[in-house]
Structure 1
Amino acid sequence: MRLADATWTDVRDADADLAVLPVGSTEGHGPHAPLGTDSLTAETVAEAGADAYEEATGQSVLVAPTVPVGISEEHRAFDGTLWVTPDTFRAYVRETAESLAAGDGPAAIVLVNGHGGNVDALREVAARLTRDGVARVAPFTWFEAVGEHASDMGHAGPLETAFLRHERSDLVREDRIEDARENGSERWGDWVSG
C-alpha cells in the first residue's frame, strides 16, 4: 500500500506489520541519467519488494514516500545536486521512521537505499531505532545485493544505466551514452569535480 495514495482509514484497516522507506538522492549521474536516479532505483526496489512480500504472505506493506535528498555534498560540482548534512539526514530519516511506527504502526521497517553516501548514516539510524525499541529497522542498499554484478555498479555506470533502461527508459539520454562511457570512472574511488 503506497501511503501517498492511501487514506488514513486505509492504513488503519490494513494493519500492516511491515513498512518500507525508500531513500535516495538528487545528484549528477553523468550526462545520460537523471539527477533522481538513486531515488528512482530505491523506490522501484522498495515497491517490488513490498509487492513480492504481500503476494507471498498476504499481508499489507506500507510503502512510504521516497526521501529524495541524501548525503551528496561530494557531488556539489554538478549542477542540480541537492544535499543535506549527515546530521540532518539522520534526523529526518529517524523521525520519518518513528512516525511510521507510531501508534499501531508496523513493528518492522526496511530502509531501502539507492545512494552510497547514505549507507553509514542509515546503518546508524537503523541500529538506534532498533535499540530504542521504536521498531525493528534494517537498512537495505540494493546495489550491495546484486552479487557478481556489484562490480558493474560504478556511479552512473552499467548497472544503474541498465536498471534505468529497464524501469524508466524514457529518462535515459541514449544519445549521451558514449560521452558518459568515455568520460566516466571505471571504478569506485575515481573522483571527478569542477
Structure 2
Amino acid sequence: MRLDEHTWTEADAADVDVALLPVGSTEQHGPHAPLGTDAFTAETVAEAAAEAYDGTAVVAPTVAVGVSEEHRQFTGTMWVSADTFRAYVREAAQSLASHGWERVVLVNGHGGNVAAVGEVAARLTRDGDCYTVPFTWFDAVGEHSADMGHAGPLETAFLRHECPELVREDHVEAAREGASDHWGEWQSHTNLAHDSAEFSENGVVGDPAEGDAERGADLLDAARDSLVALLDAVVDRDVTRPPHE
C-alpha cells in the first residue's frame, strides 16, 4: 500500500501491520547511472516487500536527500547534515506512529545514511515513539554484498533489471575507466579520504559492467525476501522495553 496513492479515508480504513519508510539520497552515481539511484532502489525494495508481505504494509513517501556530502564535488549531488537527516526521519516516523502504525522499518539505499538510520531507530524505540528498525538492502543480498561499491556492479545490475532506460550504456566504459577498485584510501584500518573524489576520478567504485539484468533480478529477489522476513519478525516481536535491573 503506497501511502501517497491512497486517500486519507482509505488509509484510515486499512488494518496496517507495519509501516515502511524508504530513505535514499540524491547524489552522483558516475557518468552512467542517475542521481536518484539510492532513493529508487530503496523505494523499489520497500514496495516489492510490501506486496509480498502476508498482511498490510504501508510504504511512505521516500526521503530522497540524505547524508551525502562525501560526493559534494560532483554536480547535482544534494545533501543535508546528519543532524537534519536524523531529525527529519525521526519526525516522519513519529507522524506514521501517530496514526497507530507503531512498528516502522527504515528501508535504506545509501551507505552514508547507515549510521544515522541506526541512531534514529534506536532513539524512536527507546523514547517509546514507535518500535523502529533499520534495513539496508545491499547488506541483505547474501554473497552479492561483498561486491557493493558505488555505482558499481550491484547498483548497475539493479537498474538494468528494473529500469534499463535509466542506465547510460554508452557511458559504462568511461565509468569503468575512471572507477576505483575499492572505497577509500586505507592506512592502519583507517580511511584517510573523506570525499569520494579523493580516490575515484568519476565517483564510481567497482566495475559496472559486472552487473547485468539477471543479477539485478537476483538482487531484488534477495532483498525483498530478506525484508519480508524482517517484517514478520518486527510484527511478531514483543516490543515491551525491559525494566531497569
Q: TM-score range by the shorter chain?
A: over 0.9
Gaps of 5+ in 1: none
Structure of greater relative contact order (alpha carbons < 8 Å, 6+ residues apart): 1
| Alpha-carbon distance in structure 2 between the residues aligned to 1:185 and 1:167 | 25
The residue number in structure 2 matching 1:40 is: 40
The alpha carbon displacement at 1:153 in A equals 1.3
Residue 188 (structure 1) shift: 2.0
Normalising by structure 2, we get a TM-score of 0.75
**Deviation of the 1:189 alpha carbon:** 1.9
Structure 2 CA distance for aligned equivalents of residues 152 and 69 of structure 1: 24
**Cα contact 1:42–1:113 (8 A) shared by 2:** yes
1:79 alignment partner, one of 60, 75, 94 = 75
Match of 2:170 in 1: 175
CA distance in 2, matches of 1:9, 1:187: 49
Equivalent of residue 143 in structure 2, options 127, 140, 148: 148
CA deviation profile, 1:90-141 (whole Å, cap 9, x unmatched): 00000000001103x2121110000000000000000010111111101000
2:64 partner amino acid: P
* Equivalent residues, number: 189
1:161 to 150, 153, 156: 156
SS in 1 for 2:105: strand
Asked whether the equivalents of residues 3 and 62 of structure 1 are also in contact (C-alpha less than 8 Å), the reply is: yes
Q: Does 1:192 align with 2:197?
A: yes
Task: Indicate conservation of the 8 Å contact 2:96/2:102, yes or no.
Answer: no
User: 1:192 aligns to what SS in structure 2?
Assistant: helix
Is the 8 Å Cα contact of residues 155 and 185 (structure 1) preserved in structure 2? no
- Cα deviation per residue 1:45-96 (whole Å; 9 max; x = unaligned)? 110111111xxx2x21110000000000110100000000000000000000
Aligned to 1:42, the other structure's residue is in SS state helix
Gaps of 5+ in 2: 186-195, 202-245
Equivalent residue, structure 2, for 1:15: 15
72-81 or 143-152: bigger deviation: 143-152
Choose the corresponding residue for 2:130, options 132, 135, 144: 135
Which structure 1 residue ranges, 4+ long, deviate > 3 Å from structure 2? none
Residue 120, structure 1, aligned to residue 115, structure 2: yes
How far does residue 185 in structure 1 lie from its aligned partner after superposition?
1.6
In angstroms, what is the RMSD of aligned CA positions? 1.1
**Structure 2: distance between partners of 1:46 and 1:183:** 32
For the residue of structure 2 that corresponds to 1:159, the secondary structure is helix
TM-score (normalised: structure 1): 0.94
Larger radius of gyration: 2
Q: Distance in 1 between matches of 2:41 and 2:98?
A: 27
Task: Report sequence identity in percent.
Answer: 68
